[in-house]
Amino acid sequence: MKNYLIKTDGISKRYPIRKQHDRPDTLVGIFIDFLYKPIRNLKELKRLSDAQDSSTELDNYIWALNDINLEINNNEKVGIIGKNGSGKSTLLKILSRITKPTKGNAIIKGRVASLIEVGTGFHNELSGRENIYLNGSILGMTKSEIDNKYEEIVTFSGVAKFIDTPIKRYSSGMRVRLAFSVAAHLEPEILIVDEVLAVGDANFQKKCLGKMDDVAKSGRTVLFVSHNLESVISLCNRVIWIDDGEIKGDGNPVKIVNKYLETINKVSESKIDLSLIERESDLSFVFTELEMKNQQNVQTSSFNVGDDLQMKLKYLVNNKSLLDSNLQVRISINNSKQVEVLNLNSEIAGYTFELNREGYIFCKIPHIPLGEGTYSINLQAIVNSGMADIINEVCTFEILPGDYYGTGVADITKASFYCVSEWGNYLK
């Protein structure tokens, strides 16, 4: 009999497809909407109840997970990979006891510390110090046990200067650093870490990977979700690939990752609808569309080395309180191994945007310096210094051989990156 810590037996999870209601703009409309909301909620509840065994309601639901069976043993370092909306986060929420499965059951042995969203388990009005003790208590630790780990937690997080400041005043990066430090140091039997580490800087990400490795070596179990496939391979001794709510692969990290890459490194359409992509945010701000064009202003997802790459992002603001707020956009580009090779930041580049109800953001990469290959685009939106929208692997595009230096000769050496250079010679 295996010494498993986690076992799932046919777990499935279904969510209703939420319909967007028109938001009233008048005072009368708001009042009517307020009165009607309880009735609408009762109808939705009845529909949820009636649809348990009804085939007529299938179109109103989506299965995020479908019949997941797996065992995770003690001392395993398990990476979970898959595209956006594949069911990874839903699986972690079930294993973290945040949500219940629609069908099946999950057996979890031991204490679970999960970092699924930025600042998971934190109380905004409490200080960093108070939240450390709150999280420790939730995990069932005594005050003396937390005391013994306190200095180590604070030192690792790098927020000692602000430890008595309310969490609500922390940046997203500070929240992640403290949240991870708390989760990793309070000695849970199972540590679950989602993509939130992408918010932190490169040095802290490296520290986190090292700490997760230490946690696993100490005899505990780590579940790690990341789009950085090289980190997954280096950290994990087992990888589970989930697609459309089903397990498509489970086993050796290199083999499973390569199978996954074969499916995602296909060139996307040049115009991508982003409105239906599953988000973890509250949808106050969402990217709804991405369009790619070349320097001839032609829609395409194929570019030559040295071409201009133009991106047009459409957005929608669903919360009126955000109107006229400052928007910062980050675009990162990963290679076929999901390693970041370019990072574009509107604020650092000196551009500021004020939000309207809806609008467009343009970004142009002149004379793109990427070598031949397939690349993917990740998007982040920061509104009023807070993370508003994150979409990874939005789309893929390809770079074909081209004449980067304008010499009339296309480079065939398959370089990964090009740059402007100056040459000369001299005689002794």
The rounded distance, in Å, linking the Cα atoms of 45 and 49 is 6
* Single-letter code of the amino acid located at 105: N
**Contact, 209 vs 235, CB < 8 A?**
yes
pTM, rounded to two decimals: 0.62
* Angle made by CA atoms 349, 386, 154, in degrees to the nearest 5: 105
Q: Is the pLDDT of residue 233 over 60?
A: yes
The rounded distance, in Å, linking the Cα atoms of 269 and 291 is 9
* Single-letter code of the amino acid located at 407: T
The rounded distance, in Å, linking the Cα atoms of 99 and 111 is 16
- 80-131 pLDDT tens trace: 998 877 888 889 889 888 888 999 999 998 888 887 765 566 888 899 999 8
Instruction: Give me the pLDDT at residue 50, please.
Output: 53
Question: Please, which pLDDT band fits residue 9 given cuts at 50, 70 and 90?
Answer: very high
Q: Which contacts (CB < 8 Å, 24+ apart) does range 237-241 have?
A: 237/76, 237/77, 237/78, 238/76, 238/77, 238/78, 238/79, 239/78, 239/79, 239/80, 239/81, 240/70, 240/78, 240/79, 240/80, 240/81, 241/80, 241/81, 241/82
Instruction: Give me the pLDDT at residue 47, please.
Output: 55
* Phi, psi for 135 (deg, rounded to 5): -65, -40
Closest to 219 measured CA to CA, from 70, 2, 3: 3
The rounded distance, in Å, linking the Cα atoms of 153 and 130 is 13
Could you tell me what percent of the chain has a pLDDT over 90?
A: 29
Closest to 223 measured CA to CA, from 241, 210, 239, 203: 239
The rounded distance, in Å, linking the Cα atoms of 218 and 44 is 47
> What is the set of domains in the chain, with CATH numbers?
4-11+62-264 (3.40.50.300), 271-400 (2.70.50.60)
**Contact, 149 vs 185, CB < 8 A?**
yes
